Amino acid sequence: GAVVSQHPSRVICKSGTSVKIECRSLDFQATTMFWYRQFPKKSLMLMATSNEGSKATYEQGVEKDKFLINHASLTLSTLTVTSAHPEDSSFYICSAPRRGNTEAFFGQGTRLTVV
């Protein structure tokens, strides 16, 4: 079946550094990928829609300069958390819909801890 792979699954970084999270669709091409963030005991919040070959679309309240998204190929989207701060600590999840399939496939998620 279709698989979306997200890497790394867990990362601890120092405040002020940048962290890159990768999301790959393994057996299908994804022109669109979605990045979500989950706060403790809260729902998945859509951060941005990543579009292959064009700029990402950010949800209201999400800082585009802080959360850089690059969708350079049909199978890879990256989310870079720049100048990370402790309040950026969260669980980040990507998902990718396969063309013609309503179901969205999710990555395994990345637990980011900024110390």
Partner 1 sequence: DQQVKQNSPSLSVQEGRISILNCDYTNSMFDYFLWYKKYPAEGPTFLISISSIKDKNEDGRFTVFLNKSAKHLSLHIVPSQPGDSAVYFCAAHGNAGNMLTFGGGTRLMVKP
- Residues at the site binding partner 1, with contacts judged by CB under 8 A: 6, 32, 34, 41-44, 46, 49, 91, 93, 95, 97, 102-109, 111
Residues in contact with 22: Cβ distance below 8 Å, sequence separation at least 6, in sequence order: 6, 7, 76, 77, 78
Q: Which is nearer to partner 1, 46 or 74 (CB)?
A: 46
**Closest C-alpha among 52, 38, 51 to residue 93:** 38
Q: How far is the CB of 66 from partner 1 (least distance, A)?
A: 22
User: Smallest distance, Å, CB 52 to partner 1?
Assistant: 12
Cα–Cα distances (Å) from 87 to 8, 15, 83, 84, 115, in that order, read 19, 10, 11, 8, 10
φ, ψ for residue 41 (rounded to 5)? 60, 20
Decide whether 66 or 111 has the Cβ nearer to partner 1: 111
Which lies closer to partner 1 via its Cβ, residue 83 or residue 90?
Answer: 90
Q: How far is the CB of 19 from partner 1 (least distance, A)?
A: 17
Bridge partners (DSSP) of residue 59 are none
Residue of 9, 5, 18 whose CA lies nearest to 114: 18
Which residue, 49 or 82, is less far from partner 1 as judged by CB? Answer: 49
Q: How far is the CB of 31 from partner 1 (least distance, A)?
A: 10
